[in-house]
Structures are given as structure tokens and as C-alpha cells.
Structure 1
Amino acid sequence: FPAADSTTGLMGALGIMIALLAREQGTARGQVVDLAVFEALLRLMDYPVPALTGADHSPRRNGLRQPMDFAPGGMFRTSDGVWLTVSAGSAETAQRLLRAVGGDALADDPRFATLAEMSHHMTVVFDAINDFVTQHTLAEVETEFARHDAVASRVLSVEGITTNAQIGQRGDFVSVEGDPTKVIGPVPHLSATPGALRWLGRAPGADTRSILCELGFDDKQITALYEAGIIGLDGTRNTP
């Protein structure tokens, strides 16, 4: 997934909105939005830099766990081959999770009385969750987790995403007439200006004429470029 490209586009759009607001408020006439692609991901990383510079702690790769996991969670595979993501972000939810995978003996262990204490024994917690999930089917895990109000969610395949009832109800997949291909539609959903899909991809040269006109070329010059085979127009290219 091109996370850097997509996130940079979003942050760039946000920068434009901020610049427009500053113009409307009279604090700036206009300004350059300067954004490098790597900076979008750097901004999303957040904690590794202060962890190193403020606490002299360098986060390391940690398998299917977070590099600095202060609360139980991770990715686990059931005995029937289904991947689950498990998360417990508070002491209360962590206790429920531990009780689901290890019973009272694990949940009442004094090492896990608080998240702060639990963080020192996260390998034990992770292994307990992993042992339980890998030895049970998805249905068994879901039943036990539901009984203890613990949090786990199935990791959907693309097939699962495209057939998911909630996503379908939200209308997040759209297409253009005459093409079976579906893509993700405009998000967020706006009531007055929702946006619409016009094409899945423009034909080569579809916008060449309008762009050259904006650059000062007249029709005669554009035609000459086309006849010389230098440019294509509306999906066609002349071969002199």
C-alpha cells in the first residue's frame, strides 16, 4: 500500500485548507505549501523520536507486536487459519482479555495488576494470547472473547472487505457506467457536496489540448504538434 503517497496527498490538502483560512483571516496573502513525501510518514511515527531523545529508548522490531507495546495486543492466527487483531488499551480491557485467554489464574496474577506492571511482562502476555488463539478455531475464540467482553477483530481479506455489509451500506465502493471495476469513493461523505466518480482513468492525451491552451499554444500550433507525432490528442497519436 502506497501509504506515503496517499498520506502526503491528504496532508497537502490540509496545508492548502490552512493557507486558505489564513488568507481569509488576513494573516497571509498567499504562501507555499512545502511538503516532502517522507515527512508525512515521519509525522505519523510520532513516538520513536521522543522515546530516543527524551528517554534514551530505541524502539526495535518486535515480530507481530508493536515495538513499544505498553498494552496487550497484536496479530494472531487461529487454528483454522484466520488472522485476528487483538487489542486492550486500558487496565480493565486487559484484565478481560487475560481472563478470556488464561482464566482467573492469569488475570489475577499480580504481575498484571496494572498496565504499567504488565508492560514489564508483555512477552508472557503475548505468548498467552498466542497460545490460546492458535489452539482454537475462529468460532471458539469469538465465543470466548464475547463471553468475557474482550476485544478482537477478524482481519478481512479483500474479498471480505468488498462483501462486508457495513462497508456496503455506507456506499464506499463506486464505479462508472460500463466498467465492472469498483474503487473506493469520496471520503468523508458530505451532505451538500458529496462528490462523484467521473472516470477510472483518462485516455492518453485527453487533456493535452486544454493544457497547451493554458500554456499559450493556439489551435494551429497544437495541430502542428499532433501532425508531427510529438503529442497525442484525445487518445490518438498521429504517425507521420
Structure 2
Amino acid sequence: MTALAARERTGEGQVVDMAIIEPILAVLGPQPLWYDQLGHVQPRTGNRSQNNAPRNTYRTADGTWVAVSASARSVAERVLRLVGRPELIDEPWFATGAGRARHADVLDEAVGRWIARHTRDDVLAVFEKAQAAVAPVQDVRDVMRDPQYRALGTITTVDDPELGPLRMQNVLFRLSATPGAVRWAGRPHGADTEEVLTELGLAPAELAALREEGAL
């Protein structure tokens, strides 16, 4: 969009070059700056946070997983009361996010033990009632029946001449005036050969000759 705006001002186009690794690096936040200025290398933390706890993924009684984030102290307190460990709230280290992060093993054990005794639906209902951030960790089965994905039209059905109706990812973005659509999952081999060669200037007789020779 910036390049288009520049073209409107200057009348000249430009090359837009971006590697897929660059937005991934941007997601990492200030890690290059930390390393440059402080020599700090962020260690691997899995699903934990270095700044707050409890914040992790936990296995439920029915074999699924949920992600929980209790970043604010008030939320962390509600979670610890919910899981039956209110005594941890009185620990001096519980007062700050950094202190809770240093005791993530203790908090994960408390939260994980409680979640392991309940089904995913029960965990989600109780945590949402307590106004604690929680979400299911979805696999593709969950994605296919998720009501939010359905409302967005994230999965679309495409008629394929060989496979019949099939479901796949829809256009990544939605435009109000010019919405896109997936017309086919993949054209059959050679389906557009004649059209392409005609655009290149080959006459029908030339196409027929190529077919006779087995080139098409």
C-alpha cells in the first residue's frame, strides 16, 4: 500500500521485496535490540512467559489441551482460588509478574493438576466465568467445526471435477467491495494449454499439428 501511495505521488512504480522470515523475526519483538544493547539471549520457555504466570498449555481430562494466560495479578488470584490453591496468593513472590514467573513450576502444578481432572468444556466454562483468559488448543477437526471460522467463511467448499465437493482454506483476506473467491482447487493437467498457446499466437492448425505429434 505504501508503494501504491508513492506511485500516486511520483508516477513511478517500485519492486516490493520481502522474505517470509522477516515478518517472523518481527514477531519476536525486541530480541535483536536486547542482544545488541545488553547481550541478552532469550532462553526457550515453551508456552510459558518470562514476565507472568500462570501462563501455559494444560491437558484436560478428556485428552485435549487448553491455553491459559493470567497476566494481571487480579486474574492470577482468581485462577488460584478457582483451582483450590488460595494459599499461594499470600506468598511474597506472588505479588509481581516476575515473581510468579520465577515460580512457574509451582503455579503450573496447581493449575495443571486441577485442569487434568476436568473436561475441556468444563474448564472453558469455569475459566470464562472467572474472567480468566482461556482458549482451546485446536486441531484441524476443531477448526473445521469452529463457529467463528464458519462465520468468517475461513473454510470454503470448492467443486472439483475429479474429487467432487471439497473443503479448503478460503481467500486469506476479505474485501467489502471486491471480495475474492476460490474458483478451483487446482486445474486438471493441460486444462488451459490451448488458451495459453492461443494467447501466445499459435493458430488452431498449429495446435492440431502439435496434438498429432503428441506434444500436447
TM-score range, shorter chain: 0.7 to 0.9
Kindly provide the amino acid, as one letter, of the partner of residue 72 in structure 2. S
Offset at residue 209 of structure 1 (A): 4.5
Task: For 1:1-240, list aligned pairs within 5 A.
Answer: 17-26=1-10, 29-63=12-46, 65-66=47-48, 68-72=49-53, 73-177=55-159, 179-212=164-197, 216-219=200-203, 227-230=212-215, 237=216
Provide structure 2 residue ranges, at least 5 long, that are not aligned to the other structure.
none
CA distance in 2, matches of 1:37, 1:213: 36
Q: Are the equivalent residues in 1 in contact too, given 2:52–2:70 (CA < 8 A)?
A: yes
SS, match of residue 176 in structure 1: strand
Q: Are the equivalent residues in 2 in contact too, given 1:79–1:138 (CA < 8 A)?
A: yes
TM-score by length of 1: 0.72
TM-score by length of 2: 0.79
Q: Are the equivalent residues in 1 in contact too, given 2:58–2:66 (CA < 8 A)?
A: yes
SS, match of residue 182 in structure 1: strand
Q: Give deviations 1:60-91, integer Å, cap 9, x for gaps.
A: 3334x24x531231211012212111112333
CA distance in 1, matches of 2:2, 2:196: 28
CA distance in 2, matches of 1:38, 1:229: 43
CA distance in 1, matches of 2:143, 2:16: 35
- Identify if the C-alpha distance between structure 1 residues 222 and 52 changes in structure 2 by more than 3 Å, giving closer, same or farther: farther
Q: Are the equivalent residues in 2 in contact too, given 1:99–1:106 (CA < 8 A)?
A: no
Q: Are the equivalent residues in 1 in contact too, given 2:158–2:168 (CA < 8 A)?
A: no
CA distance in 2, matches of 1:145, 1:25: 52
CA distance in 2, matches of 1:175, 1:162: 12
SS, match of residue 180 in structure 1: strand
Q: Are the equivalent residues in 2 in contact too, given 1:70–1:122 (CA < 8 A)?
A: no
Q: Are the equivalent residues in 2 in contact too, given 1:96–1:148 (CA < 8 A)?
A: yes
- Identify if the C-alpha distance between structure 1 residues 35 and 190 changes in structure 2 by more than 3 Å, giving closer, same or farther: closer
Offset at residue 194 of structure 1 (A): 1.6
Give the fraction of aligned pairs with identical amino acids, expressed as a percent.
35
Q: Are the equivalent residues in 2 in contact too, given 1:69–1:122 (CA < 8 A)?
A: no
Q: Are the equivalent residues in 2 in contact too, given 1:96–1:107 (CA < 8 A)?
A: no
Offset at residue 21 of structure 1 (A): 1.7
CA distance in 2, matches of 1:74, 1:144: 17
CA distance in 2, matches of 1:226, 1:51: 64
CA distance in 1, matches of 2:143, 2:95: 37
Q: Structure 1 segments of 4 or more deviating over 6 A?
A: none
Q: Are the equivalent residues in 1 in contact too, given 2:70–2:76 (CA < 8 A)?
A: yes
Tell me the C-alpha RMSD between the 2 structures: 2.9
